[in-house]
Structure 1
């Protein structure tokens, strides 16, 4: 089984048109969700897009070996996000080119005001709670979250319960609804 972070000397996906088309289709369908997943860890949209893009680049190299792309990409994107270091600001000397004609994945993750409140609240959770909540919000079952994060299912459930309680407080929600 191929593990995140491992490198292969060859790039079979680049040589196989069917694999390239499958990868491109998967990228188009899942890139916005992967960006949102990384944002749930506290990344801004640009940091999240960078981490997600790096994960997809790594995935392309071994696409034919990845059995669970959704989980694999989330693990790699999260690690990429953690590795990101502040980039020194460069002074721009020329005009910034116009936006290219193709659609940017960030267009699909523009947040509404209420979503911004939720993402801000998620960023305030302890890392383990943020982690299980990010996987949970992407639809992964407790057992798979436990497997992918290397923790026990009861720890996932406990962290989800704590995260929900803390989010409820942070967002000013009561048992009767929003305040």
Structure 2
């Protein structure tokens, strides 16, 4: 059995050696990079809008989003297994971005009060019912719960994000809805609508 030119023993196909460990790691990192880029492209605008709903300006929200995505990539680069333990990446990236904006580093988010000097919530509702403006007038806990809800998260996910029991998250969502309902009714009354 001598090797034939261009082939393996007896003219068969060339021998395939299994990829080395470094090649496997490289392949996994390339796949992780592609998945993270797709995630970032899908979530970027949603994340900016979320941070703005929590009270940030556009520039602050964009900056927080950039830093949150950079932190996500740093985590993947350090230890891909840790990124896989994150669970819901959408919640994780929001927590990090909010932490960047509030200066809490992604830990339990503490939202600042948003100044509404001389502006009633009912007046804000009249401005095309812009959710960013309306939510800014809610108390911080309600604002955060409603911002998460507007991004499609339910009470259990809101509770996990806010690190509160689920009934508390449900209460915050209910209180936010009630506040918004009252505000809208007050606005409609001032506009002469039924």
Both structures adopt the same fold (TM-score exceeding 0.5): yes
In structure 1, what is the equivalent of residue 137 of structure 2?
A: 124
SS in 2 for 1:30: helix
Instruction: Give the match for residue 77 of structure 1.
Output: 97
Match of 1:142 among 137, 155, 172: 155
Q: 1: CA distance between counterparts of 2:147 and 2:163?
A: 15
Aligned pairs, how many?
Answer: 135
Mapping of residues 83-162 of structure 1, within 5 Å: 83=103, 114=128, 117-162=130-175
For normalisation by structure 2, the TM-score amounts to 0.62
From the CA coordinates, give the structure whose radius of gyration is larger: 2
Q: Deviations over 1:5-29 (max 9, x none)?
A: xxxxxxx89x922111111111111
- Segment drifting more, 60-69 vs 129-138: 60-69
Alignment RMSD: 2.4
Moved beyond 6 Å, runs of 4+: none
> Which one has more relative contact order, counting CA pairs under 8 Å at least 6 apart?
1
Instruction: Output the TM-score relative to the length of structure 1.
Output: 0.67
1:27–1:56 Cα change, 3 Å = same
Shift of 1:53: 0.8
- Residue 61 of structure 1: CA displacement? 1.1
In structure 1, the gaps of 5 or more residues are: 1-11, 85-112
Structure 1 pair 154/21, CA: closer, same or farther in 2 (3 Å)? same
